[in-house]
Amino acid sequence: MTRVVKLLGGAALGALAWGTLVEPRLFTLRRHALPLLPPDAAPLRVLQLSDLHLAPWQHRKIDWVRRLAALRPDLVVLTGDLLGHVEAREPLLHSLRPLADSGAKGVFVHGSNDYYGPILKNPVKYLLEPSRLSTRQQDIDNAALTSGLVDLGFTDLNNSAARLRVRGTDLELLGLGDPHIRYDDADRMRAALTDLGPHEGDPVRIGAVHAPYRSALDALLTAGAGAILAGHTHGGQVRVPGVGALTANCDLPVRQARGLSAWYDAEHAAYLNVSAGLGASIYAPIRFACRPEASLITLETARETLPA
């Protein structure tokens, strides 16, 4: 029995060491292809970055994000929780500058951590219980973050909409503020979409929101989004091999806490990509069986049905 206990203890320590010292630095690129474009449209490469939770000393992460410019994306979508420290704004903008300089168009929505810095909390509660609405005073200069992103050429989609022409295709991008802190306003988003004016033919619409709460996904879906990009869940952050995520930190079904799935109702359907993100709170810096990631999504024309 003593030997078994020692073996189990050693395995637990090994898993903890892996989850805190190794896996959080194993950044990976997850690729998807979505048949959303009209006939004869050129393929579009969309890079989604989420949940960097960046701290100023995370130079490996900063360098990895800067190298993503080599992918030559056509559109960069930032889905929130970019900051993980009150002093991380300038390092974040430095990490994104090569992407901005590459000529890619860019859009963003904020997450709660772009308003409120991280605080020390029980890491077990952080990983297994939905976090609560913050009652703290805002300690992140969100206006400066927004201004910095706009200066880089990114378009603010928080409760808003924009039409961008990308490689000959008109994309309509719509976004919501973070529903995790009740900053979402679907009426404002719909009004902004109406203000874009009419579009000839069926528009290609892509929605963005940080936390994929059902109500937010429904609002984007009924507004006509054919694809919805979200983050927040960290993919569960700690996943059990053969089981998957234990939590989504919102009311999204846990099975959809990471990766590509579908979101639909009786009349609408959309692709849903929930990024596991590139970081975690500096007070819960662990990942297990859930590598930090960026998503490269290729938008293609609808595929023809192959003959039987």
pLDDT tens digit sequence for 83-142: 999 999 999 999 999 999 999 999 999 999 999 999 887 666 656 556 655 567 788 999
Q: What is the dihedral of CA 226, 230, 236, 241, to 10 degrees?
A: 40
Q: Which domains are present in the chain?
A: 2-301 (3.60.21.10)
Q: What is the pTM of this model?
A: 0.93
Q: Which of 230, 247, 237 is nearest to 292 (CA)?
A: 237
How far does Cα 278 stand from its chain's mean position? 9
- In degrees, rounded to 5, the angle at the alpha carbon of residue 268 between the alpha carbons of residues 130 and 303 is 110
pLDDT band at 20 (very low <50, low <70, confident <90, very high): confident
CA distances from 167 to 37, 140, 164, 257 (A): 12, 36, 10, 31
Q: Note the maximum CA span of the chain.
A: 73
pLDDT at 180 over 90: yes
pLDDT at 209 over 90: yes
pLDDT of residue 138: 81
pLDDT tens, residue by residue, 217-264: 999 999 999 999 999 999 999 999 999 999 999 999 999 999 999 999
Bridge partners of residue 253, in order along the sequence: none
Q: Which of 207, 215, 145, 146 is nearest to 173 (CA)?
A: 207
Amino acid at 195: D
**Segment among 7-11, 19-23, 261-265 with least mean pLDDT:** 7-11
